[in-house]
Structure 1
Amino acid sequence: KLIDLVENKHVSGWDDPRLPTLAGARRRGYTPEGFKLFTDRIGVSKADSWIEYTILEDCMREVLNESAERRIAVLDPIKLVIDNYPESQSEDCFAPNHPQKPELGKRVVPLTRELWIEREDFMEVPSKGYFRLFPDNMVRLRYGYVVKCTGFEKDADGNVVTVHCEYLPDTKSGTPGADSVKVKGNIHWVSAAHAYAAEVRLYDRLFKEAHPGAGDRDYLDDINPDSVKTITAQLEPALKDAKPADAFQFERHGYFVADRKDSVAGKPVFNRTVTLRDAWQK
């Protein structure tokens, strides 16, 4: 079946990150340590058995959580404008490279008047329990300031394209005034002036069923149509220097690796290795 998938172009080749091949696993960002943990966890048996794919994914999460440095990426961007922030100003915010490894230090994340934020971090009419941006609500820009939403703009189709806010100058993270205003929401962002627009491939399971082709079905009918989505994301500027096979946790999203095949110097392409949580749990 693997030969059929490759020869009939259902996948891009033997190193397609969705395939259960060593070449595919390397491009996906699966690590030797993750496979070692997987074999330790499932043990050895003489009997044939089905092993849940979630066990492999959990092993990769566990290993990457320990080893991968953190970076900021906005995968579905909309513009956030801080109206009372000086247009020509840029200042440094400081983000830890790994929250459990202070010895890895911090990196500079530039903050400017215009930022990219996730589309899901704003709602015109908030649902119950929604604590992120909506009109008149306040949130903290992670590693930055507390901001209050003052309005938004829509395009001709009614889609929100720009969110407006004002920042509270005395609330910057790491300063004495950081806790002067209590907010429930905390969102990530990247500076629009400094962001690196990159190709990001969101890989998922190749098949939508645990047992493709079970019964009398054609296994090709069980191919997951959403097993890969290619998007253009806005990434923090440090990621522009990523080398092939460099792995990171994109905060709030999951673990990603710079593609071994398609990344070039100064223009890495990222593949999603695994999400932060199991999205396939029922």
Structure 2
Amino acid sequence: MNKINGFINNIIQQDIKKKIITKLRTRFPPEPNGYLHIGHIKSMHLNFILAEYYKGCCKLRFDDTNPKKEKNKFVTSIKKDILWMGFNLNKNITFTSEYFEIIYQYAIELIKKKLAYVDQLNKIQIKQYRGTLKQPGKNSPYRNQTIEESLNLFKKMKKGFFSEGQACLRAKINMKASSILMRDPVLYRIIHKEHHKTKNSWLIYPTYDFAHCISDSIEGITHSLCTLEFKENKKLYEWILDNISVVHYPKQYEYARLKLEYTVLSKRKLTILVKNKIVSGWNDPRMPTISGLKKKGYTPESLKKFCNKIGVSKQDSLIELHSLESCIRNELNKQSMRTMAIIDPILVIIENMNEKKYENISVLNHPKMPNMGIRNIVFSKEIYIDKSDFKEYADEKYKGLTLKNTVRLRYAYTIKVKDIKYDKKGNIKKILCTYDNTTLHTYKNQKKKIGIIHWISKNDAIPAYFYFYSPLFTIKNPEIEKNFLNFINLHSKIKKKGFVNKETLINFNNYPFQFERIGYFFIDKKYTNKIVFHQTVSLKNKR
């Protein structure tokens, strides 16, 4: 069973040892306003694995307190992604909206204790009154209204007597507090929008800060784990729980959020990429979403290994992209069937071979795993090679086919150029070659090292499309850029049309592919009228 090492695990061990807790309870609380991304995977992995290791419980709680952004389709996608990652949900699925009535009653309790009031300043005025880091805030003119006035106004808010932005409920803390967050934060706001679960039952909605700690308490969460940007919010988290009559008091602990090179993980920015059609959708293979990574060919195991690799700490750091890529590369290297594909085809005719003759050559599906079996590749008079493997003239370092170079066709014979045929535009139409029929199994004994290129028999070739991906951004840390769209990589997706072996599709349908000398690819099975491959990762780190 996996175990999470680090300071959070040490805290849990101590709490169990001191009998502060008898059963660990964690929660994973995504807001259903977008698809889960790799940053969520770190949080998901942490909460679910800890609960599993200590035989506790992890709740999937949908933080659905803003009906303007939340949709049922996101609820569905989040459940699907969590199950795909291999975490068992059982019946541990809740919604913050299930607690709206309880949260509302706690708000009433704060008003009755003179710790909350209804404010009728607008958003701009509230911001002005709040002050700055250097300048303290000042009290709202509504701050000292009576309990009865605030209760009456709060009930009117609930019944729809106010329009959006006309009134809100604020905590009465300290407008001169050093923390701006503690300067009478908003607890409830008016939103006239149908909720995906409660429909039109409510016209007022609690803020995340107010609802989150109460939901943690209701669910008996022992360790509320969140990222460092919520460290300041901990003050409000504890203030709310200290001032309402909760039975259970959870504790919040913070850790560093995931930051990945050449990637944005802000859901707001990811939404912009989708809405502006910079990507084809939330499941675009260039997106850091779980559905995007899945479409690209990543596996749950590789993503979990990545989480274990980067660990959990309090120190923010920008994780190198090759750290993620190495996890899937190592996994695919062990389980991928080897085969050949031609990305930019050029026709080669072997003139000294009989047109009717063809030869089956048996090769291992994996060079280091004989148990994966063998496959037959067809060698015939007409074959395709890749354009990158031919140059008419090149220096001595070039190991591909040239007018002077002899090369070996992988697993087959050596060939050399006899002639080149061009079309009317001067482009190479086909290459005429001859082969040495005595060289089939002589590559281990040959004295002179020559280049080895891949190929496919024309008779055995099936057309296919190949998508190659590189980072969506040109700079390492686009997340910190205000105008992050200025750094979009215009060449992050390249489409090629080429060929794969017929037998590849027949025998390897349920396996990931390693196209030799090219990379690891994942077949997109949603297409029925064409064959499409997405490159998961290159054979070697190129950054």
1:115 aligned residue: 383
Q: Distance in 1 between matches of 2:489 and 2:350?
A: 41
**204, 229, 234: which is aligned to 2:499?**
234
1:209 aligned residue: 475
* TM-score (structure 2 length as normaliser): 0.48
Deviation, structure 1 residue 136: 3.5
Q: Distance in 1 between matches of 2:311 and 2:505?
A: 40
Deviation, structure 1 residue 172: 1.1
C-alpha deviations, 1:242-261, integer Å up to 9, x for none?
Answer: 7877411110000000114x
Compare the two structures and name the one with the higher helix fraction: 2
**56, 59, 67: which is aligned to 2:335?**
67
- Runs of 5+ consecutive residues of structure 1 not aligned to the other structure: none
**Contact 1:115–1:190 (Cα < 8 Å) also in 2:** yes
**Contact 2:336–2:513 (Cα < 8 Å) also in 1:** yes
2:534 aligned residue: 271
- Runs of 5+ consecutive residues of structure 2 not aligned to the other structure: 1-268
Q: Distance in 1 between matches of 2:469 and 2:367?
A: 26
1:255 aligned residue: 520
1:107 maps to a residue whose letter is R
**Contact 1:92–1:111 (Cα < 8 Å) also in 2:** yes
Q: Distance in 2 between matches of 1:228 and 1:10?
A: 11
Deviation, structure 1 residue 108: 0.5
2:487 equivalent to 1:222? yes
1:27 aligned residue: 295
1:190 aligned residue: 456
2:514 maps to a residue whose letter is Q
2:271 aligned residue: 3
Give the secondary structure class of the aligned counterpart of 1:278: coil
**Contact 2:341–2:500 (Cα < 8 Å) also in 1:** yes
Give the secondary structure class of the aligned counterpart of 1:130: coil
Deviation, structure 1 residue 220: 1.1
Map 1:1-150; keep pairs closer than 5 Å: 1-150=269-418
Give the secondary structure class of the aligned counterpart of 1:136: coil
Deviation, structure 1 residue 147: 1.3
Compare the two structures and name the one with the higher strand fraction: 1
Deviation, structure 1 residue 233: 1.3
**Contact 2:348–2:385 (Cα < 8 Å) also in 1:** yes
1:152 aligned residue: 420
Higher mean displacement: 15-24 or 242-251: 242-251
Question: Structure 1 91/80 Cα, relative in aligned 2: closer, same or farther at 3 Å?
Answer: same
Question: Structure 1 43/178 Cα, relative in aligned 2: closer, same or farther at 3 Å?
Answer: closer
Rg larger in 1 or in 2? 2
Report the identity percentage.
38
C-alpha deviations, 1:57-100, integer Å up to 9, x for none?
Answer: 11111111111111100111111110101111111012211111
C-alpha deviations, 1:219-278, integer Å up to 9, x for none?
Answer: 112111111111111111123337877411110000000114x333x8431101011122
1:31 maps to a residue whose letter is T
* TM-score (structure 1 length as normaliser): 0.90
Aligned residue-pair number: 275
